[in-house]
A and B are shown apart, each in its own frame.
Chain A
Amino acid sequence: MEKRITTPLTLEQVKDLKCGDSVLISGVIYTARDAAHKRLCELIAQGKELPFEVKDSVIYYVGPAPAKGSQVIGSAGPTTSYRMDAYSPALIALGQRGMIGKGKRSPEVVEAMKQHGAVYFGAIGGAGALLSRCIKKAEVIAYEDLGAEALRRLEVEDLPAFVIIDCEGNNLYETGRKEYLESVGQVK
């Protein structure tokens, strides 16, 4: 059963999302990878305003391929999230509610998620051609010099993802694997 969610993502919505849920995400989300995160955190450290409203926002870790022909955006699947671990707690403390990526997160990120109420979604890594079809509008709003790594505002419709880590710290990478191994009679 898929849960449909629309951004901005409120704390109430976040509390309703449980590890293992399949979700379809719609609304405005922002893209940022390592280089953009570094700049955002420099702005936070200097007490300056950020290029978008962080409170209740969802950031998608993606560096899309260039649009081809009539495409809105090129292939756009998730990049590996751990590279953003150094930066995420500062953004979560400012009210960022959702992250879309793939792969493990650090204990510091999970702690910030529990403390402030945030959720980590996994999109399917390597499914960039399919995922790009859920992006209906894309514009660069900052750091154009970073090319694929620029900060973009995306409007998405029914972007498929899974709740990997919920705001209580439950982790699908641990529970899913354990349940599968138990189902085949192997105990980890």
Chain B
Amino acid sequence: MREIDAKDITEQVKRLCMEANSYLPEDIKERICRSEQEEPWELAKNILGIIRENYQIAEENYVPVCQDTGMACVFLEIGQDVHINGNLEEAVNEGVRQGYTEGCLRKSVVRDPLDRVNTKDNTPALIYYDIVPGDGLKLTVAPKGFGSENMSQIKMLKPSDGIQGVKDFILKVVEDAGPNPCPPIVVGVGIGGTFDKAALLAKKALMRSTNVRNASPLYAALEEEMLQKINSLGIGPQGVGGRTTALAVNIEQMPTHIAGLPVAVNINCHVTRHKTVEL
């Protein structure tokens, strides 16, 4: 049994909160640059140039790429042979508290959806635990902004709707969102499972590098096809028209019920942030 101190988890969560908010993942930066080069519409190209300049400023000065430094989504893959010394949930929240306070990140969490009083330290984090074989611990922090989160949707399709129903729904969500989620966007799609699992799959899809396609040829082709279709809508960066509406489409799928075809579409903006460490 391997022992991991809860204090080490606090330290890592703190660091990841600060770094994820200032340093965009390499694949996202590459896609922004490539889109800027390939964008045929002048205003759209200029906007992509400003978006590139913005993440460079954030990186050089270690300041947040976007003022919406998000809710801290924390994913833990805990080896079944690991024992945590201390309170794990409190350790994660303490990391968020310290990261958001010391890192001058915005505190965007309210304690209750209706009374709406700010908790002033961005806690609680949204924590997901997976128990996996082995004695490792993989920790991912993904600060999620709500301009794009608010544009996400879920639908319980019928099995007869099939792949065409899935395609139509993904396009509908992107169309409904229009300029609101700060395009160019990254589209995370979860297909299958239950109502709640589809949504979680969609969120997890956003954590995958956009350079890695789905392992199944069927879904990999669907990712490519949907990216092409979304970039034919003409919404463009910030919705002013242009080719670059999305940087990538990532899909995750899982088994589901004979009666169901759940599809969740989780939208992320061009500030698609996540950072992982393995302990």
Q: Which residues of A contact B (CB under 8 A)?
A: 20, 35, 62-68, 71, 74-77, 79-80, 82, 102-104, 122, 124-133, 146-148, 160, 162, 164, 172-173, 175-181, 183-184, 186, 188
Inter-chain CA distance A184–B38, complex, in Å, is 14
Inter-chain CA distance A71–B103, complex, in Å, is 13
Nearest-neighbour CB distance to chain B for A41, whole angstroms, equals: 16
Among B104-112, B160-168, B220-228, which stretch is in contact with chain A? B104-112
Q: How big is chain B's contact interface, by range?
A: 35 or more
Residue pair A129, B64 in contact (C-beta under 8 Å)? yes
Given contacts A103-B239, A172-B240, A177-B234, contact A126 B180 (CB under 8 A): no
Residue pair A129, B61 in contact (C-beta under 8 Å)? yes
Residue pair B67, A76 in contact (C-beta under 8 Å)? yes
Residue pair A148, B108 in contact (C-beta under 8 Å)? yes
Nearest-neighbour CB distance to chain B for A33, whole angstroms, equals: 11
Q: Which residues of B contact A (CB under 8 A)?
A: 40-41, 43-44, 47, 50-51, 53-55, 57-58, 61-69, 103-108, 116, 118, 120, 147, 150, 178-182, 232, 234-236, 238-243, 269-271
Residue pair B147, A128 in contact (C-beta under 8 Å)? no
What are the residues of chain A within 8 A of B40 when measuring CB–CB? 183-184
What are the residues of chain A within 8 A of B50 when measuring CB–CB? 124, 127, 130, 160
Residue pair B66, A147 in contact (C-beta under 8 Å)? no
Residue pair A181, B234 in contact (C-beta under 8 Å)? yes
Inter-chain CA distance A184–B232, complex, in Å, is 10
What are the residues of chain A within 8 A of B53 when measuring CB–CB? 130
Given contacts A127-B50, A129-B54, A129-B57, contact A74 B118 (CB under 8 A): no
What are the residues of chain A within 8 A of B43 when measuring CB–CB? 20, 162, 176
Residue pair A103, B180 in contact (C-beta under 8 Å)? yes
What are the residues of chain A within 8 A of B240 when measuring CB–CB? 122, 162, 164, 172-173, 176-177
What are the residues of chain B within 8 A of A67 when measuring CB–CB? 104
Residue in A80, A172, A178, A188 whose beta carbon sits within 8 Å of that of B147 in the complex: A80
**Minimal Cβ-Cβ distance residue in B for A162:** B240
**Minimal Cβ-Cβ distance residue in B for A81:** B180
What are the residues of chain B within 8 A of A127 when measuring CB–CB? 50-51, 54, 66
Inter-chain CA distance A66–B69, complex, in Å, is 11
A-B contact pairs, 24 of them (CB 8 A): A63-B67, A64-B67, A68-B62, A74-B64, A76-B67, A80-B181, A102-B238, A103-B147, A103-B178, A122-B179, A126-B271, A127-B50, A127-B54, A128-B64, A128-B68, A129-B57, A129-B58, A129-B63, A148-B106, A164-B240, A179-B241, A180-B236, A184-B243, A186-B232
Nearest-neighbour CB distance to chain B for A91, whole angstroms, equals: 21
What are the residues of chain B within 8 A of A181 when measuring CB–CB? 234, 241
Residue in B41, B69, B106, B238 whose beta carbon sits within 8 Å of that of A180 in the complex: B41
Residue pair A82, B106 in contact (C-beta under 8 Å)? no
Q: Point out which of B65, B235, B238 has the most chain A C-beta atoms below 10 A from its C-beta.
A: B238
Residue pair A68, B179 in contact (C-beta under 8 Å)? no
Given contacts A104-B178, A125-B147, A176-B241, contact A147 B270 (CB under 8 A): no
Q: 4 nearest interchain CB pairs? A: A176-B241, A125-B182, A180-B241, A103-B180
Inter-chain CA distance A130–B271, complex, in Å, is 14
Residue pair A65, B64 in contact (C-beta under 8 Å)? yes
Nearest-neighbour CB distance to chain A for B56, whole angstroms, equals: 9
Given contacts A103-B179, A176-B241, A177-B235, contact A68 B150 (CB under 8 A): no
